[in-house]
Amino acid sequence: DWSSHSSADHYALLSFFGKLDYNYANKYYLSGSFRRDGSSRFHPDNRWGNFFSVGASWRISQEGFAEDAEWLDNAVLRASYGTSGNDKLIPRESNGKAGGEVLYAYQGLYGAETLFGLAGLKPSTAPTPDLVWEKNKQFNVALDFTIFRDITATVEYYNRESEDLLYYRSIPLSSSMGSITGMNTNIGTMRNSGFEFTISATALRARDFKWVIDANLSTLKNKVVELPSGDFWWANTVAQYRMEEGGSLYDIWAPHTVGVSSETGEMQYTYIKDDGTE
C-alpha cells in the first residue's frame, strides 16, 4: 500500500497606498490615508478591499492660554478613525484539518486518492466564492502630556470593531463533503473597547545616573455583536467556549458546580431537567 502527495501554493497581494499630512502653525495637524488591496485568496468578485484612515491632533501647549503654565511642558489631544483588512486564512491539511498548506480559499479542489486499489478523485477543499475580507474599524481618542519636565503620561480610549471575521469552521460529516471537515468562513462581528493609561516618571536624576519608573494599566471589554448563523462553539486545550450575540468571545461553557460531596469527595453538578428546572 503506498500513496503520494504534492501541492503548490501561489499567493499574490497587490496594494495601492496614498497618504496626506497637513500641519498648521505647529499646533493643528491633519492626516489621511487610503489603501486598496487585492488578494488572490478571494473570488474575483470579492478580491478588492478599500480601506482608509483619518486623524487630527491639537497641540494644546502651544496655545497662548497655556504659555503661563510653567508646569506644563507639552500636551497633545489626538483622535483617529481608520479601517484595515485581513486576508490571513487558517490553513488546512490535506485531510481537511487545520494546520497545513493554504490554497485559494474560494476554489473547490479535488485530490487524488487510492481506495481498495482503485485510483480516483475526491473533494479536498470546499468552494467558498462568497468569502470576503475581514474588516477592522478602529476609533481612538487620547491625551498625551508632560508635566514638571519629568512626568509623561497618556490617557486613551479605543473602540475596535471587526466584521466578517475569518474563521476555519468545522462542518458535520452529514454535509456530504466527504473527508472535508472544515472550511474558512465569515462568521460575524465582534467589538473590543477599553481604556489605556501609561505613565513614566523620573524618580531620581544625577550626573551619571537616572532612575525612571513606568506604569501601565488597561481595560478590555469584548462583545460579540452579530452572529448571522447563530450561536457558535469553539474549544481549545483549556476549555469549551460558546459565542452568542451579546456575549463575549471568552464565555466559558461548562457545567455549573454545586460543591464537593461530603460523602464521596467527588464534584457535584447541577442537573437541568427537560422543563428547565434544576
Q: What is the mean pLDDT of the chain?
A: 85
The predicted pLDDT at position 97 comes to 43
CA neighbor of 216 nearest in space, from 192, 230, 234, 197? 197
The predicted pLDDT at position 278 comes to 64
Rounded percentage of the chain residues whose pLDDT exceeds 70: 85
User: CA–CA distance from 21 to each of 53, 141, 159, 228 (Å)?
Assistant: 12, 18, 24, 39
Q: Count H helices and E strands in the chain, helices first.
A: 0, 17
The predicted pLDDT at position 5 comes to 58
Residues of the chain with confidence (pLDDT) below 70:
1-9, 90-104, 173-179, 237-238, 272-278
* AA letter at 256: H
The predicted pLDDT at position 146 comes to 96
Q: Which residues contact 68 (CB under 8 A, 6 or more apart)?
A: none
Tell me the pLDDT tens digit for each residue of 171-185.
776 665 656 777 888
Contact 218, 155 (CB under 8 A): no
Distance of alpha carbon 153 from the chain centroid: 27
Q: H-type helices in 76-166, by residue range?
A: none
Question: How many Cβ atoms sit within 10 Å of the Cβ of residue 210?
Answer: 11
Q: Which residues contact 146 (CB under 8 A, 6 or more apart)?
A: 72, 73, 74, 75, 152, 153
Q: In the 3-class helix/strand/coil scheme, how is 142-159 assigned residue by residue?
A: EEEEEECCCEEEEEEEEE
The predicted pLDDT at position 252 comes to 82
Most distant CA pair in the chain, distance: 90
